[in-house]
Chain A
Amino acid sequence: MESEPVGGGDIVLSARDQSVSGAQGDVVLSAQRVSKSFGGVQVLFSVDFDLRRGEIHALMGENGAGKSTLVKVLSGFEQPTSGEILLDGKPVKLPPNGAAEALGIVVIHQEFNLAEHLTVTESLFLAREVAHFGLLDRKYMRRETRRVLDMLGSHISENAVIGSLTVADKQMVEIAKAISRDARIVFMDEPTAVLSRGETEALFKQVRKLRDLGTSFVFVSHKLDEVTELSDRVTVLRDGQWVKTAPTALLDGESIAQLMVGRELSSLYPQKSEPNVDEARVLSVVGLNTAHVRDAHFDLRRGEILGFSGMIGSGRSELMEAIAGLYPRVSGEVRIGDQLMPPGDIQATKAAGLAYMTKDRKSKGLLLGSDMTSNLTLQSLDQHGRFGYLSPASERKALARARRRFDIRVRDASVVAGRMSGGNQQKLLLAKVMEITPKILIIDEPTRGIDVGTKQQIYHFIAALAREGCSIIVVSSEMPEIIGLCTRIVVMRAGRIVGVLEGDEINEQEIMRYSAGLKQKAVA
């Protein structure tokens, strides 16, 4: 399987050409013709990559292109099947399981690697606890943890137990852990996928500061604006092959996207179509209170795409989970059609045609150790046989259908969900939720970790669903997505609905004003 870069004949600034130019730092880590196979499946094809001292190098590519795999190979978590890795110009065999940390190489994984029952401080100092004569210096460790967290602008308590944190906070701890380890080389695999804008900015500030001190970063993200903003150079992979390496200044978001998908992208967002004013109300929420959410009121009409915006922690997910019957309600009413929903009863809401897609796909969405079929049909086993019997043929059909409909790409169809690329896991989760053909679909962060091409597919899919009469609630922290998709946007702040925007009011400034608490209007 010898392969040439598929970049084509245009002016390609190859990795090797550049390092001779010498204008910038020397190469600290490089991959030379690295290939990687899992079982019989080849994932990386003779990839070249180099990382200079004091640079931020973005690694781009579609879901399943092999970015995470390359990161793992370069950090010792996986060994290359062939090819060489050079550290400071000398060939090395990186030690496995994170032992490369001793060489100054740390990884912020796309999948979290935190022990759920430790505190934040304990996680940060795991395996390098500070002790005097065997006695732990807890006070010092707590202070250090606080310092790093403050540096990142994070409000998480240093004594909080990991298991009690939100996904975003866990990600922050993971970042703090990497940054606190005086690394020379830091790999960040989609660190910002779950972060709010403020958190992202605080992170970038630290990254730039460390870069100027000589630390090198490899940055994987599907957010093109972040990549163009932060990185010094970009390398694009497509289908496991190296396509191009170039200074970021010579590229823009558009051209990176094109390199990734290998074709031109038409408009990202579909045509908006507003539902008729006299469309039936399919969901109404009245005076809903939960532990954190206060007095939520809103309606959803047939065929509507309603957006929920707000800062992380503003209570959007809690509200949605309470509506879906997954989170306890304190008071209030939820009606689907004209049927009153009992609190905390997910079976009832499911039977009434409501489906909820969690944003926490690792711990609430997918069975990572099971294959695609078991995951896909888990919620809808009734459809695949009678009297509790399951028909394998019917399940196989469902999988084939879902893979076509959602373009789920795996090289080996029997792969367990935990081994699929992040984006393809997300598509599988969406497919799973859609198996019950819901009338009301609540999607929490629909495109987390998804590449631009697939994003476009998902947006068009959501729009098409709405046109067919399905009602959709999109909860998202990505403002362009919510603005591009929704005809009405609810903004939440600190557990309350503080504004509902329609028509011309829908723009970033306005949403920001509401979610930052600068503006508020009485909501009917």
Chain B
Amino acid sequence: MGANVTTEDQAEPKRRWQDVDLRAVAPFVALALLLLLGAMVNSNFISLNNLANVATRSAFIALIAVGATFVISSGDLDLSVGSMVAFVASLMILFMNSNAIADPGMMIAAAMLLALVVGALCGLANGLITTVGKIEPFIATLGTMGIYRGLTTWLSQGGAITLQSAEQQDLYRPAYFGVILGVPVPIIVVLAVTSVAAFVLYRMRYGRHVVAVGSNPNVARYSGIKVDRVRTTAFVIQGVCVAIAVMLYVPRLGSTSATTGILWELQAITAVVIGGTALKGGASRVWGTICGAFILELVGNIMLLSNFISEYLIGAIQGAIIIIAMLVQRSLVRKS
């Protein structure tokens, strides 16, 4: 920097407080308010232990939502992520049960690799159907949602698929239940994945292309950007994020069924929207997204710890949150 910057530009870095983008800070303000509310409801709530637990539980949605941030920023939507979790997890467990590799450590590594490949392929399928097939992403992924779910039901023959080897289970458990330097592994994974995603979105060419395609595909095309490739890649990234979530999911329960991951797409999209990413594309806020995922889990936790709202209402509350988030987003746009 320095030398070449003109005089006008030197004045730029000074930030007035009006310059702060309200939409970027809104989710964190909401989080702070929720923490306050929770502390009032139950004194156990604010304990580090409880919050770490909540964060750990939000890891699946957070990871999936990081991928959804890419897809939504590029102007698309992926409804198939919940079914994809079930499908990838089932294949992963079936592979581990096949005992194709004797060494359990190697076996787990190979299974994780398999999950990544299957996740990426599922994402690729979504991407190609929307771009090459020119089908609305809403419809395309509604279709694959049915397909991935149906395949899972068929693989499990309507029942459950359970990890059999106790040895594998013991070895794999720490991937979810482990703690490194006092921090649960899932939290570390989420932070690592989000950091990478933030780097890609804000510091790399691809991220710039995603935002360009999401805000105006025509402008992107006229600028020589390969629009379809950018969109397809976003779907693949979503698939990979689903696979990473599965890698944490399998050691937790060691079992899947036809109902695994039901409505997770709704939660992932909610997290993205709460986080301040615009649903119509063009703005991505990946740190906001994981904040959104954490908020969703916190709301459930508060309801559980308080005794004046039934926890059976959780779905309704989450539904209400997405609507409120949208309303807040819009009013902030108008003001700025």
A residues apposed to B, CB below 8 Å: 39-40, 326, 346-347, 350, 356, 358, 363-370, 374, 377-379, 381-382, 385, 388-390, 392-393, 396-397, 399-401, 403-404, 413-414, 432
Contact = CB atoms under 8 A, between A and B. Distances in A.
The 3 residue pairs across chains A and B that have the minimum distance between CB atoms: A379-B223, A381-B205, A364-B222
11 contacts: A350-B224, A363-B216, A363-B219, A378-B223, A382-B205, A390-B203, A396-B9, A397-B1, A401-B4, A414-B19, A432-B223
Contacts of B9: 396, 399-400, 413
A403 B5 contact: no
B170 to A, nearest CB: 40
Contacts of B5: 396-397, 400
Given A389-B203, A414-B12, A414-B19, A365 B222 contact: yes
B218 interface: yes
B199 to A, nearest CB: 9
Given A347-B224, A389-B203, A366 B4 contact: no
Contacts of B225: 378
Nearest to A404: B6
B19 to A, nearest CB: 7
A462 to B, nearest CB: 20
A379 B224 contact: yes
Interface stretch (B86-94, B182-190, B206-214): B206-214
A39 B18 contact: yes
Nearest to A384: B205
Nearest to A40: B16
A364 B217 CA distance: 8
Interface string B1-45: 100111011001000101100000000000000000000000000
Contacts of A364: 218-219, 221-222
A388 B205 contact: yes
Nearest to A39: B18
Contacts of A399: 9
B283 interface: yes
Given A388-B204, A390-B205, A396-B9, A374 B211 contact: yes
Contacts of B205: 381-382, 385, 388-390
Interface of B: 1, 4-6, 8-9, 12, 16, 18-19, 203-206, 208-209, 211-212, 215-216, 218-226, 282-283
Given A390-B208, A396-B5, A414-B19, A326 B216 contact: no
B8 A413 contact: yes
A347 B226 contact: yes
Contact of A367 (B4, B219, B224, B226): B219
Interface residue SS majority, chain B: helix
B215 A367 contact: yes
Nearest to B9: A400
B1 A369 contact: no
A389 B204 CA distance: 4
A430 to B, nearest CB: 14
A347 B221 CA distance: 10
B221 A346 contact: yes
Contact of A397 (B4, B212, B220): B4
Contacts of B16: 39-40
B158 to A, nearest CB: 44
A396 B216 CA distance: 23
A374 B223 CA distance: 12
Given A347-B226, A413-B9, A396 B1 contact: yes
Given A378-B212, A397-B4, A326 B222 contact: yes
B12 A413 contact: yes
A367 B216 contact: yes
A449 to B, nearest CB: 18
Contacts of B203: 389-390, 392
Contacts of A366: 219
Contacts of A390: 203-205, 208
A350 to B, nearest CB: 5
Contacts of A346: 221-222, 224
Contacts of B221: 326, 346, 364
